[in-house]
Copies of this chain bind each other. A is one copy, B any other.
Amino acid sequence: MSKEEKNLIAYHESGHALVGLALEDAEKVQKITIIPRGKAGGYVLMTPKKEKFVQTKAELRAKITSYMAGRASEEIYFGADQITTGAYSDIESATYIARRMVTEFGMSDLGPIQYEKPQENVFLGRDYSNPSRNYSGQLAHEIDKEVRKLIDASYKHAIKLINANKDIMDIIAESLLIKETLTAEEAEYIYANKKLPVQVQDMKDKFAKRQLEKKLKKDSKKEEINKDSKKIEAGKKS
């Protein structure tokens, strides 16, 4: 992975994590990493704050906001033209939740009516692509609009949260570039104290020290060489 791509992925994952840290109704951040897994360049592991039988509308919206925050971070830090395909599965998950809120959970202006029925045990694969639909073309359009309303609102919410916490974003991203994987405690420490966790700061310091030592070593070598060449030149002149 190039340095630029590593940086981009660090900010993408930091976006997801920030929402988990900043929003009361969001799930708990358990782990953030930029170590690639499969097709993904990194990921954030989040789990429900307590075991639950039901999920509230507020919790589902926070979940969507968290999914949107990766792309939102890309746009803020790298520009609209540099947004990536890395948000592919975030978009998939967010759309899935938003659709269910509208068509199954009755959580939109379309009211508590079931508009779609998932098919769990079907014989042929293609059935998966034909969920049982109970609506006309006109209603389909209204459903589309409600889904988009939910996603757009969450995307804007993510943009706002990131812009309001750029200092924290930078520290999470920097920590990821240094340590690659952060624990729940480290993430929470950054959010609470706005500075690098102790272990990360240590790694940074050691790295800086090593760099300095290398430089000094190189400089002294250069000096020796300089001296030598001066000697040679001196020798020549003499």
Chain A residues in the interface with B (C-beta under 8 A): 1-2, 5, 8-9, 36, 39-41, 50-58, 60, 68, 71, 80-88, 90-92, 94-96, 98-99, 104-107, 110-115, 117, 119, 121-141, 143-144, 147-148, 151-152, 155
Contacts and interface: CB of A to CB of B under 8 A. Distances in A.
A105 B74 CA distance: 13
B128 A139 contact: no
A126 B125 contact: no
A151 B112 contact: yes
Contact of A114 (B36, B51, B95, B125): B95
B144 A53 contact: no
Contacts of A114: 91-92, 94-96
A69 to B, nearest CB: 11
What copy number does this chain have within its complex?
6
Contacts of A132: 128-130
A148 B98 CA distance: 20
24 contacts: A1-B53, A2-B50, A41-B54, A56-B85, A58-B81, A87-B105, A88-B104, A91-B105, A91-B113, A94-B112, A94-B114, A95-B114, A96-B114, A99-B134, A111-B155, A113-B148, A113-B151, A119-B129, A122-B125, A122-B126, A123-B124, A127-B129, A129-B133, A136-B140
Contact of A104 (B91, B113, B130): B91
